[in-house]
Structure 1
Amino acid sequence: MKKLGLVCFTFVSLTLSWASHAEDKRYISDELSTYIHTGPGTQYRIIGTLNAGEEVTVLSVNENAGYAQIRDSKDRTSWLPLNQLSQTPSLRLRVPELEKQVSDLTARLGNIDQEWNQRTADMQQKVSASDNIITALRNENQDLKNQLIVAQKKVDAANVQLDDKQREIILQWFLYGGGVAGIGLLIGLLLPHLIPSRKKNDRWMR
């Protein structure tokens, strides 16, 4: 009875172990080509070989025997040692993918380099345009300064001429006023002498 229970327990354990590894993708190790058997051991008949790097599907695993039941690309179901399986893709499968990734990265780097060159050219063009604008503004500013200096000189000359005119006008008015005052003073001095002498002449004639 105990033996029957032990057998049942072993069977259940193996079943659970096989179920846990069902439909698991694995790869034949790159270092070898391996024989596949009809059962979990070398005592079973060899039904073919698998090349290094081939992808297989693990259907179940016999932990005690160290074998896995697999299905290959030819849809054959067979057994082979667990240590001849790898969880990572083989180099034969990874090299084309890596080459594609390298090609994609090279293309992207080429595009990035082209975009960078275009951006650099655009920036240089903008900087050149900005330099031209700055130079034009500086020249215009210098022209305005020169015009301001000329205008200031003209204003100064006009102020000098205006001061001369004002002094000339003031002098003319002073001379005119002095002349008028002198004539008035002269008339005032001569007029009293002229009027009495006329009266004396009038009396004498009478």
Structure 2
Amino acid sequence: MKKIHLISLTLLAFSAATAVHAEEKRYVSDELTTWLRSGPGDQYRLTGTVNAGEEVSLLQTNENTHYGQVRDASGRTAWIPLSQLSNDPSLRTRVPQLEQQVKDLSDKLTNIDSSWNQRTADMQKKVAASDGIINGLKNENEQLKNQLIVAQKKVSAANVQLDDKQRAIIMQWFMYGGGVAGIGLLLGLLLPHMIPRRKRSDRWMN
């Protein structure tokens, strides 16, 4: 009779369980260990434990006892209180992920710092090169200014020399002209005396 009663209770418990059509991932709560049972209730025997944070697959649930049937990574199938299952990964599994994320971000920051330092160095080189070009242009401009001043002075000196030569030429022409005029005047005065005059009788005879 006891065996029949136990079998009846087991069948009743399984018939009250609500089947889950698709397996769902769940995570064991953050406790040291969680006990697994052979059936959906505290009256069923213990079949083992699962580690905190371990990922399991939820197969079905029992609404009356609030137990769920799970399968762990090794393929074992057992029942566990639903209160000890979570939809989110446990801290034990999330901490390494967070640590990896922190490491990745730190590496990115290091790369950004290196890239920024390289860009800064390149910009400094470009600025230094620009400063050198600007200084060279300033020096060249200053030299051109000095050459312009020297050229202007040479032009002024040449103009002065040209004016002097022009005045000298004009004076020479004046002197030549005056000499020619003087000679002409002198000849005009001397020639009448040098050429003998004919007598009037000679002119009548002719």
State TM-score, norm by structure 2: 0.83
- Unmatched 5+ residue regions in structure 2? 1-14
* RMSD of aligned residue pairs (Cα, Å): 2.0
Indicate the residue corresponding to 2:18 in structure 1.
Answer: 14
CA distance in 1, matches of 2:170, 2:17: 134
CA 1:40–1:25: 2 relative to 1, 3 Å: same
Q: Displacement of 1:192 after TM fit?
A: 1.0
Q: Displacement of 1:167 after TM fit?
A: 0.7
Indicate the residue corresponding to 1:98 in structure 2.
Answer: 98
The amino acid that maps onto 1:56 is V
Q: Runs of at least 4 residues of structure 1 off by over 4 A?
A: none
Indicate the residue corresponding to 1:28 in structure 2.
Answer: 28
CA 1:12–1:180: 2 relative to 1, 3 Å: farther
CA distance in 1, matches of 2:16, 2:191: 165
Q: Displacement of 1:178 after TM fit?
A: 0.8
SS of the residue aligned with 2:60? strand
SS of the residue aligned with 1:23? strand
SS of the residue aligned with 1:43? coil
Q: Displacement of 1:65 after TM fit?
A: 2.5
Superposition pairs of residues 143-158 of structure 1, within 5 angstroms:
143-158=143-158
The amino acid that maps onto 2:34 is T
CA distance in 2, matches of 1:61, 1:140: 90
Indicate the residue corresponding to 2:11 in structure 1.
Answer: none
Query: Greater helix share, 1 or 2?
Result: 1
Q: Displacement of 1:55 after TM fit?
A: 1.3
Superposition pairs of residues 1-206 of structure 1, within 5 angstroms:
14-15=18-19, 18-19=20-21, 22-31=22-31, 33-196=33-196
Q: Displacement of 1:31 after TM fit?
A: 4.0
CA distance in 1, matches of 2:84, 2:188: 152
SS of the residue aligned with 1:165? helix
Q: Which moved more, 1:25-34 or 1:167-176?
A: 25-34
Aligned length: 186
Query: Greater strand share, 1 or 2?
Result: 2
CA distance in 1, matches of 2:16, 2:29: 30
Q: Displacement of 1:137 after TM fit?
A: 0.8
Q: Displacement of 1:23 after TM fit?
A: 1.5
CA 1:12–1:51: 2 relative to 1, 3 Å: closer
Cα deviation code 1:88-117 (max 9, x no counterpart): 111111122222221122112111111111
Aligned residues with identical type, % of pairs: 67
CA distance in 1, matches of 2:166, 2:63: 126
The amino acid that maps onto 1:166 is Q
Q: Displacement of 1:135 after TM fit?
A: 0.2
CA distance in 1, matches of 2:127, 2:103: 36
- Unmatched 5+ residue regions in structure 1? 1-10
Cα deviation code 1:123-173 (max 9, x no counterpart): 101110110011001100110111011001101110110011001101110
